[in-house]
Structure 1
């Protein structure tokens, strides 16, 4: 099926960035500790929450780049 004129496909190489949070969460030994604390929260918890925020930001960046 031919691509209609004016509707070119965009490269999806930015989607590789989705691998970063995946690897960061699988590598448990890197964040399996209590210090340093942030606002009374142990590192174990705020590190994971930080990756939720980073993942959302990455998704937004990738979405904007592809649309």
Structure 2
């Protein structure tokens, strides 16, 4: 038995955390599904699809990672305020 009180942290899987996971998993799925982009057409300014598709995902991955980070920060602040409000 420990002397620390039980703290209700809420559910571990929330809709926000599912969105965060999807934001982080989407680039991996897109890049591992090689059959979807292993072609040369359509070209963009003379660059084959294979290359510009991957470079586009660099930008998309950055945006998704930033979104996931912002959502995580918001989730952590909400949990901290719930715990602080419950104990006061």
TM-score by length of 1: 0.76
Aligned with 2:32 (options 22, 26, 36): 26
What does residue range 1-67 of structure 1 map to in structure 2 within 5 Å?
A: 12-13=17-18, 14-67=20-73
Unaligned runs of 5+ in 1: 4-9
* Larger relative helix fraction: 2
Unaligned runs of 5+ in 2: 8-13, 74-88
Aligned length: 62
Aligned-residue RMSD, C-alpha: 2.2
Structure 1: 4+ residue segments shifted above 4 A: none
Residue 36 of structure 1, CA deviation:
0.4
